[in-house]
Amino acid sequence: MSKVSEVGKAVYNFKDDIGIVKSKRSSIKINLLMGVGFGLVLLFAVIGFYYAVFFYFKFNFKEVLLEWIY
């Protein structure tokens, strides 16, 4: 038995004790949902960053801020 498979088994058993691992199918479904959610968050972060940089260069940011404040 290799070290890696021992660690994997220990982690799986730990998850099983907590009740995370209900079945293979639900586990895959949860991972898929988490993956899609993380992907969407990442996508929105990239789009938001792009627009922030775009607007920063399009307008003088300090002037815009001063207009909002006053």
At position 36, the amino acid (one-letter code) is V
Q: What span, in angstroms and rounded, lies between the C-alpha atoms of 2 and 12?
A: 16
In a domain, 10, yes or no: no
If one counts the domains in the chain, the total is 1
51: Cα separation from own chain's centroid: 20
pLDDT at 22: 58
Question: Could you report the average pLDDT of every consecutive run of 10 residues in the chain (70 residues)?
Answer: 66 60 66 87 90 73 68
Domain holding 65, by residue range, is 24-70
Q: How many CB atoms lie within 10 A of CB 30?
A: 13
pLDDT at 32: 82
